[in-house]
Structure formats: C-alpha cells, structure tokens
Structure 1
C-alpha cells in the first residue's frame, strides 16, 4: 500500500481547429493536482504556479475519442503525456453547432488500475470548424495584447510577478479588448461567426490559466494555441521560426479562402512576425493592429520597421477605441 495518496487522473483537451474532413485534436493526460485558479494567499499562488509547471504526466497511455455520431478513434500519449488525433474524417461539419464548434469526449481506454479518474472518465473537448461563409478570421496574441504581462519590464520582473503571484480571476484585460473582439467575431453584419484564434508563446502548462482568464473576461471563444515548454530551447538551437508564426501560417494553409486580421503588441516580436506573414500573403492579411507599449526604444523600432509600408494597413494603437474606429472605417465591423 502506498504511503502517499495518488492524485486522480484527468485529460485536458485543448480547444483546436480543423475542417469538415480533418479531425485535429490535441491535449494532455495528467494527474489532477487540484490547482485552484481562485486561490488568494501568496503561498497558495506560488504552489499553484509550481503545480502548473511540475506536472505528473500519464505516459504512453491509450485514449479514446468519441464523436457525437458514435465514431471512436484511438490515440496514445507520448513521453510528456501529450496526445494528438490527426485523421481525415468526412462530414464533421454536420456535427457542429451554429458557431462551428464540434463537441466530443475523451476517455482512458481499459484503465484497470485502481486510480480514480475524474469526470467518470468522460472529458469534454471542442474543435472549431469555421463556416465557409465567414468574412475573415482573427489571429491574436495574448501577452500584452489583451492581458497585461509586463514583457517589456526590466529583467521581465513583472512577467514573473503576474504569472506566479496573481490569480487568473484578478488579472484585468486591456480596456475595451473583449468588446473589440466580439465586434470582430460578429463582423460587419453583426451576425457572423468569424473565428478568433488566440496564439501565444506561453507554454501549454498555462492553458487552463489562460482559458479561465478569457472566459471570465467574456472574450469570444476560440482555439488557444500555445507551445511545448521544451521547444523554446530547441527553437533557439535550430533557428526555427517562432511557434506563433508557424501556427498562423498553418491557419492560412488550413483555410485557403480565409483572410486574417493580425493583432499583437509592439513589445516583443509580433511586429516582425506579422510583417513577414503579410509579405508572404499580401492579399490575405486584411490589417495589422499593434498595441503600443510603454517603451520608447521598442516603439521607435516598430515605427521604423513599418515606415512607408503599404502592402497591408497597419495601425499602432494606444487604445481599443482607435482599433474599433479603424475596423469600422474599413468595413470589418458594424
């Protein structure tokens, strides 16, 4: 008999995106560490932050994905507990709701261990299949674009403080951001379902935290696309494109008729990434919105980067109101 009580098992299903014939689902199988996103005490916040990064993965374990029509697909977790279902299946769009979301369930297969499994071994997941009738999509950064993190602060101390010593329920979105995103989601007619893709350099360990923040602050639901924590060092070594850039390029490739509006900030690399994407797809990037940051040197660099640039409309904004006015003038919103 074990001296320590084992944590129950869970499956975290990341909100993803696919097509009417492409089922693409990612997630992770972990022990449930009972992370309290509403915790208030500083010690508890540090413990929760530690739990997010010191995970107990369920490795090399078979999982089952069940669609609403009864079809079942099997996958296996890897060394870090991640899984991927990537199969071609016809008729998925017939299973979506009016917003284009396909709901399904994940479960551990034949788990005969005595371990407790949360939610009666029925873990809900969703995948977005945008309608062919939408006007455009939005690919948005999270950090310092809709959520103040302090990436431009000295030695990144504000990032550390905000990540580890502030609970998701008290983090405030940048003013007017949620309203602006809902207007973009509804489009010029006010009745559309334009997809919103949230793309960040944050690791998947932050998924639940960011999902909670977006829900609590009433942002439109959309796929949350993060990166593997271990890939950061590999990218530096192999000189790969940033995960954010590769994800946006994959969205453009997946939906060949979907134009995008790109939203980010002027603090880190969004300006460079978005410029490169716009040069590759000059006819499909409708606009670039970059939120200004309180860092004179970085702002001067971004302004010089886009000086004389005419391929795509670019707006450096100090407030969501400025972006709303520009979007309305260009017919993106009502």
Structure 2
C-alpha cells in the first residue's frame, strides 16, 4: 500500500524487483515481432491446491501492476543477432524487426524459436533482477503447414459465463477461480490437437488464441491452456484503456485487427476460425471471410444458451454463403465436419 501511495504522489523511483515477461508471439522467416511487458512485480505463483484467499490475492496482484517505463531491453537470437528497444509509459515493449537471415533455421520441430531478453536499465542498490536473461519464444509456422487455426478463448474453449446477467458469472470465473480448476469445454483440447496435426504425423498447423481479456491475465490463460494440453500457440490479448486514456481508439475491434494481422503475415496460408455465438464473433468472422474469401476454410461457432443472441447470430449466418459456417453444440460436431472435409484424419 505504501508503494502504491508513493507511486500516486510521483515519489516511487527505487524499483524493488525487475520482471520482464515476453508474451508468446509469432513471426515469419524474415520478420521478428516480440511483445511483452516489464514490471516491478513478483512472478505470479498459481498453485494447484491454493485456497480461495490465495486465488483472490493472485487476482489482485495481476492487476496491481507497477510499470517500469523507458527501460532499455536487449533481445538476443540464437544466431547471436542483437536488437534493442525501450518500454513505453505502461511498461509495454515491442521488437518489430525485418531480417535477411531465415529464422526458421533456428526453430524446433514445432516451429518455436527461443530467444533471450536482457534488462539494460538502471539498477538501484536494493533492486533485485529476478533473471538476466529472461527467456521467451515465438512461433514461425512451418512452410509445410496445411492450414492455421485462429480461436477465441472465452466461451469457445473456456467457459466464462459472458452471457450471464450483469456478467456475474464472468467475474467469478475469471477473477475468483483457480486456473487449475477451470474446466475446458468438453472435447475442445482433443479437437484442437487433431487440427494441429491435420493430415500429417506432426503438429505443423499453427494455432493462434485470441481473447478480449487484458494482458494482466496472460499468465493465468497461458497456464490454463498448457495445463489442459491445448496445442501451444501465440496468445493475443489486449491493453486495458483507462478512463483518462487520450490515445486514439482503434477503428476496428481487437479480434478483427489481430486476425487481419495474422492473415497478412501468412498470405500463403488458409485458416479455420473458431469462436462462439455469445458476443461478436459471428459478425467479426463473417466480415473477415467476406474480406478474404479465398483464405477462410470454414467457421465454427459454439452455441451458447442465450436465445436473443442466438437469434442475432442466425440472422447473420443464415444467408452467408462465402464460407461454410457451422453452429456447434459439441466439439464432436466440428470434428466430424473437419474429417469430412479432409482437414483431419
């Protein structure tokens, strides 16, 4: 609390500990993009058997962030190439670089490239540098990939209760439930594993996970995906806009911008889009398919128990003929469609 008061008064200068978190991102063989955040925070420790009060404490810590602005960071690739950048006023940093060398040569069998991040900012006498270097990874999709998958997270693979009255269920599930105890929607992990393999013997088809959740929940969602054995993929969240944020608001919704970025990054690759009927996925996905008619193989929308929203979604997709759109109640329905269309074995 004392630290928070000092920060509000502009007297908080002496950082206690340096935590650099690079988010799982994606790249092309000749374009590097790394996004992350640097904070004066402890690493989040979510334990499988923690009690309710520990869960609430972890939730508070995720949003009670102490940003480190204007901090210099150095990124080192396996080939020895170095890049530098600085964090912005909210502690976010980005490396956005073009390269002549082929990054795919340094990836593992599933297309993941590991890199190191070094903190080069000022260290005070009592500052603890939690690591140096910090480690990150990004995905360079295999050129032999048959297709990619772009999936929503909320109520598509993770039940959040976004359609509940006043969103009480959403708040309870997202903020007061241990990530280890969150249950994926039945059969979703198995479906995604099969889509990642496709018709091949190895997991070459890239997976991308989208959510309107803030970056504060990155570690929470990453743990959920890994613990439930979803195929590893970039996790794309969004920045929280404060009430006094004077920056220009993006013209397009977060999910739409992210999907377009992915499509433009891999112009040779076709995609399957997976979402739900609870929010705006139907309108966003069909708009994308109309804009890129030859790039979207199909759209799977998981049905939610909300009559009004289901009617709205059906009004959007009933006369949509550009791309097949399938409303599904169970993962097996999407799996059957994927098999019949030779997307999976």
Q: TM-score range by the shorter chain?
A: over 0.9
Q: Find the aligned partners of 1:183 and 1:233 in 2 and give their Cα distance.
A: 45
1:53 aligns with 2:63: yes
- Whether the 8 Å contact between 1:7 and 1:33 is mirrored in structure 2 is no
1:286 aligns with 2:297: yes
Once the two structures are TM-superposed, the CA of residue 7 in structure 1 deviates from its matched residue by 4.1
Structure 1 counterpart of 2:45 = 36
SS at 2:326 equivalent: strand
Counterparts of 1:1-334 in structure 2 under 5 Å? Answer: 7-38=16-47, 40-90=50-100, 91-109=102-120, 111-114=122-125, 115-119=127-131, 121-230=132-241, 238=249, 240-334=251-345
- Whether the 8 Å contact between 2:75 and 2:83 is mirrored in structure 1 is yes
Once the two structures are TM-superposed, the CA of residue 191 in structure 1 deviates from its matched residue by 2.7
Q: Find the aligned partners of 1:181 and 1:281 in 2 and give their Cα distance.
A: 23
- Whether the 8 Å contact between 1:202 and 1:226 is mirrored in structure 2 is yes
Once the two structures are TM-superposed, the CA of residue 36 in structure 1 deviates from its matched residue by 2.7
Range 144-153 or range 184-193, more displaced: 184-193
SS at 1:220 equivalent: coil
- Whether the 8 Å contact between 1:187 and 1:333 is mirrored in structure 2 is yes
Q: Find the aligned partners of 2:286 and 2:246 in 1 and give their Cα distance.
A: 20
Once the two structures are TM-superposed, the CA of residue 16 in structure 1 deviates from its matched residue by 0.6
Q: Find the aligned partners of 2:92 and 2:247 in 1 and give their Cα distance.
A: 22
The TM-score normalised by the length of structure 1 is 0.94
CA 1:278–1:62 in 2, change beyond 3 Å: closer, same or farther?
same
SS at 2:128 equivalent: coil
Q: Find the aligned partners of 2:291 and 2:145 in 1 and give their Cα distance.
A: 22
Once the two structures are TM-superposed, the CA of residue 85 in structure 1 deviates from its matched residue by 0.4
SS at 1:151 equivalent: coil
SS at 1:271 equivalent: helix
Once the two structures are TM-superposed, the CA of residue 46 in structure 1 deviates from its matched residue by 2.0
Aligned residue pairs total: 332
CA 1:177–1:236 in 2, change beyond 3 Å: closer, same or farther?
farther
The TM-score normalised by the length of structure 2 is 0.91
Once the two structures are TM-superposed, the CA of residue 231 in structure 1 deviates from its matched residue by 7.5
Deviations 1:92-151 (A, max 9, x none): 1111111111110111015442311113x1111111111221110000000000000000
Structure 1's unaligned 5+ residue stretches are none
Structure 2's unaligned 5+ residue stretches are 7-13
Deviations 1:238-260 (A, max 9, x none): 47211111000010111111111
SS at 1:194 equivalent: coil
Once the two structures are TM-superposed, the CA of residue 71 in structure 1 deviates from its matched residue by 1.4
CA 1:236–1:27 in 2, change beyond 3 Å: closer, same or farther?
closer
CA 1:61–1:237 in 2, change beyond 3 Å: closer, same or farther?
closer
Q: Find the aligned partners of 1:330 and 1:151 in 2 and give their Cα distance.
A: 31
RMSD of Structure 2 on Structure 1 (CA): 2.2
Q: Find the aligned partners of 2:321 and 2:90 in 1 and give their Cα distance.
A: 45
